[in-house]
Amino acid sequence: MPRTFDIAPVLLLCAFLPVGGCSLFATDAAPPPAPAADPYADIRPATASVGVVMPEPKDFMHPWDVPTYIMRVTLFGTLPPMNGGVAFVGDSLTDWGRWSEAYPDLRVRNFGIAGDTTVGLQHRLSQVIDAKPATIFLMIGTNDVEFGRTPEQIAANVADIVDRLRRSLPEARLYVEGLLPRQPEFDAKVRAVNALLQALADKRGLTYIDLYSHFVANGRLDPGLTSDDIHVSGQGYARWRDLLRLYIPAKGS
């Protein structure tokens, strides 16, 4: 015979709970308390202190990307100009690379910020320009892919970044790196972005560096080079390092 549920014990329990404490009858749950005001808000670091306008909150993928952005931008603001050398510019894939160790004979600065997007880089691009590097490796856009921007929007933002770098640093060698593959559900979009980035570089007479084809396996980031399907392992960085050697300037440049 079908099993029945005796509601009487539940009703008895609810009788001893505060009004609204029984989920069977509560209709107006109390809203969560508002976060406490930060007593140190007035002295917290801010990107404005180093001349960078902070992106809008809606332009960040995750809440934790905001303090990361502030910490890195304010750090870059304390560094002296490079006046030469090699700048690596991008998001976490760039940020987590040990570029100075990969190329120990070069003067290197890592302008990567974990979680950054094309919009975030647009806001802080003046820091790269003010550093006056002689060579720039640019890879940005994979977070935009996940964030929901279209390939056309991503490419348009990268075009703006490229054009500003070329106007301000006309003598610098600028390389546009294609996006790495990532999870399969993003593969078509990544390939679409890369096609637009290659066309952008060709139109402006710049070198496009195809990383995708060296890291892809069955429409995804090669599982032998990643532990999370988006970031690369040491083996992945070693492969990336070797692919860039063709474009790395002579010692001391």
Identity (one letter) of the amino acid at 215? F
Judged against a pLDDT cut of 50, whether residue 253 lies above it is answered with yes
Mean pLDDT within 12-18: 50
Structural domains in the chain (count): 1
Cα 245 to its chain centre, rounded Å, is 24
Q: What is the pTM of this model?
A: 0.86
Q: Between 65-76 and 118-131, two packed helices, what is the crossing angle to 10 degrees?
A: 10
Say which range, 91-95, 196-200, 248-252, has the weakest mean pLDDT.
248-252
Cα 122 to its chain centre, rounded Å, is 12
Residue 242 lies in a domain: yes
Question: Quick one: tokens of 244?
Answer: 């860039």
Q: What confidence category does residue 3 fall into, taking pLDDT thresholds of 50, 70 and 90?
A: low
Residue 27 lies in a domain: no
Does residue 171 sit in helix, strand or coil? coil
- On the 0-12 / 13-18 / 19+ scale of CB atoms within 10 A, 139 is buried
Residue 10: per-residue pLDDT: 46
Q: Are 162 and 123 in contact (CB under 8 A)?
A: no
The model's pLDDT over 209-241, given as tens digits with 9 standing for 90+, comes to: 999 999 999 999 999 999 999 999 999 999 999
Strand partners, 144: none
Residue 144 lies in a domain: yes
Q: Are 208 and 197 in contact (CB under 8 A)?
A: yes
DSSP state of 216: B
Residue 252 lies in a domain: no
Percentage of residues in the chain having pLDDT higher than 70: 87
Residue 21 lies in a domain: no
Residue 137, CB-side half-sphere exposure with 13 Å CA sphere = 29
Range of the domain at 123: 61-247
Q: What confidence category does residue 25 fall into, taking pLDDT thresholds of 50, 70 and 90?
A: very low
Residue 16 lies in a domain: no
The model's pLDDT over 37-96, given as tens digits with 9 standing for 90+, comes to: 999 999 999 999 999 999 999 999 999 999 999 999 999 999 999 999 999 999 999 999
Other CB atoms within a 10 A radius of the CB of residue 31 amount to 6
Residue 32 lies in a domain: no
More confident residue, 188 or 33: 188
Q: What confidence category does residue 24 fall into, taking pLDDT thresholds of 50, 70 and 90?
A: very low
Residue 32: per-residue pLDDT: 79
Residue 53 lies in a domain: no
Does residue 87 sit in helix, strand or coil? strand
Q: Are 85 and 135 in contact (CB under 8 A)?
A: yes
105: domain CATH number is 3.40.50.1110
Of the candidates 178, 162, 106, 155, the residue with the CA atom closest to the CA atom of residue 129? 162
Q: What confidence category does residue 147 fall into, taking pLDDT thresholds of 50, 70 and 90?
A: very high
